Structure formats: C-alpha cells, structure tokens
Structure 1
Amino acid sequence: MNKSLLPATLAIVACLLPATVPAQSNDALSKGEISVDIVDVQGSEVPKVIVKGVIDAPPAKVWRIISDCNHYAKRMPRIKASKQLEKKGDTVICEVTVGLPFPMSDLRATTTAKHVEGPTVWSRHWTLIEGDYEINNGSWEISAFAGDPNRSFAVYTVHAVPNTAVPAWMRRRAQESSMPDIIRRIREEVKKLP
C-alpha cells in the first residue's frame, strides 16, 4: 500500500468501525450486549473486525435477511443501494453501495459469496470482485445460541480496505455506533418478518 494513502485508509476504516469493545461472555451476549473485536491482519495495515450478538429469532429466520442482498438497502444500516446480480447454486454475486455523507463519495463493491444454509450453521462468505476497495472480504455465520433453536448467535466478520479518505468528524461519528448498529438493525428487521 502506498504510504501516502495510509492516513486516508485508516480514516475510512475508522469510519466503518467503532472503538474497540472487549469480547463479552455468553452471559453478556445473552442479555443483549454486542461484542466488537478488532483483529490485526498479517500484511495489512487495516484490521479485521468481528461483531457478535444474539438475535431473538431462529437462525433460518435471521438467514432470510442475511442471504437477501436485494433488500440490504432496506434492512442494513448505511446501505444506499443493493442488488443481486447473479445466483448459481450456492454462489451469489451482489453489488452493494455504502452511503457516505456529503462531501464523501459512496463506496460500491461487487462481491461473490458462497451461501451455506443450515442445518447447524447458516453462512455467507464473500470476496471482492471489483469496486471502490482494495480488499473487501468477510462473512456472516448464524447458529443457534447456546442450543436454543429460537435464538441466533450472529457473527459478522469484515476486512475492508477502501480506496478513499474520510474526514475526522465522520470517523468520530462512526466510531460511536457503526458496527453494533448492524446487529441492532437485524434485530429490528427480523421482527417484521412473518
């Protein structure tokens, strides 16, 4: 990575990530807390983020939100536009645009994802095909929480290195709540499903 891009890269990652929150116990997660861990990635100046939370719904119901990129703009925070471009078997190609406030440009990515649907783990693992990122890889893994088939343990992992800079005010705002909002929003959206 070009050293002159390092401050810009760190700024955009900070925009997409909150301050580090220590890993929490199953008891804390069970009570609704959300865990956010920042993990160094060898060979990258940008860390990976792992978000964990419990959702009061069966994994198959949560999966209906995670697996449907056509509706991410309605169901996920900060997603301005989303569209499934192709589906062949368990492989899905999606285009997603993350909305950033003016004067920043939005970030667009086309990714390919492998979907695995139960019976014990529902997962979506994606990699970048092209877009406004050097790297955009991640996953969702959904399973029953502590053996309860009516509660889901959701793990969202992302390593994203955008090709743009973000101002300090935006970075501060995002650090306050950005990543936990993903779990919070899914908790809200799953209640709307039949």
Structure 2
Amino acid sequence: MFNRLYPKQFVASVFDIDLEELKDRGVRVILTDLDNTLVAWDVPHAPELLLLWLEKVKSHGLDVIVVSNNNENRVRTFTEPLGLHYVARAKKPLPSGFKQALAKYGYSTKEAIFLGDQLFTDVLGANMAGIHVIHVQPVVKTDGLVTKFNRMLEKVVFAHMKRRGKYVLITKKVEELAVDAKRAKVAVAEKIGEAMHSRSEDSHKKDE
C-alpha cells in the first residue's frame, strides 16, 4: 500500500523541477494539480513568478494540463487567462481524470509527468494511472476539512518514508527563477528607456 503513495521525487515547489531533464527523458506534457501545487487554494490567478515559470516550460517545448478535483468555475477561472488545458472534477485518486487528460490532448503515460501536493489524491492517483509523479510541498499550510484529514494520514506515511531513507527534498531553482524575473524586468525597462530616448531625439530633430 505504501509503495503506491511513494512519488518518484520530492521538490519544494514547481520551480524546482528540472525542465531540461524532463525534455531529455522524452517528456512532452506536465500534468499538474492546481490548489496548493501551483497556487494557494484561495488564489484565483497566477502570480508573476508562476507566469515566468510557465513561460520557461513553454520554451522547453512542454505542454501543461491542470488536473484538479475542484469545480469547473474555479479551474476555468485560473486556466483560461493562461491558455491552459484542464480537467476539472477529476475525482483523484481514481485514474480516470489523468487518463482523460492524456487521451483528450493526445499524450501517452510515458510522455507525461504529474505534479501534486497530496499523497492520497495526487501521488496515489498518478501511480495508479502509470504516470511518473513528483510530489510538491504545499504552497500554504491551510486546507479544507477533507484535505486536513488527509494531511494527518500523510504524516504517518512521510515518517515511514524518512525511516527508510526515501525522502530527499530538492530545492534550488526558485532563486534562479527570481533572478531571471529581475533580469527580465531590467531588460524591459531598458528597452522602454531606449524607445523613449529614441522618440525624444526624433522629436528634437523635427523641431530643428
């Protein structure tokens, strides 16, 4: 039973996923949970750092599909502005939601990975569907009632993993992404400054 609850990898956040390694392995699509994996459960839209990460994912030739147990309105509100595909009310840990996402958009299990923050829905479901699964630490520590109960059970499983030396947390990429974000802002600011300077020079020439 415990083996079905074991992910292939543990990361602190989605920003710690090695996108180059995924591409080299032949991964074409990232299936991901929404609440407490990409954003806090009560955050309706993607923050700036997540937007930058999604751009990096896209630049690596990877697709992103959200597979969430939440309702249609919640999932659509988040994904629609980003142009992301999704499956709402996925009924995880049943494998049907995962398989629906892959079949609908033309991917195989070998071409996919799944990111999720819960062992008893995300990890168990992805393993049952035959998909490589990576556990992401929850974005925030607050949860709904059902999830709170699952978190209590998770503590037992995590303790078991740690005793067996199966828990190794990877956390390194978010700082790099933050630096990239600052560089991008500086680059944009410089371009705006250059454009304004060019317009100012053109204006002076016309006045002459």
Q: TM-score, normalised by structure 1?
A: 0.29
Q: TM-score, normalised by structure 2?
A: 0.27
Higher-helix-fraction structure: 2
Structure with the greater alpha carbon radius of gyration? 2
Higher-strand-fraction structure: 1
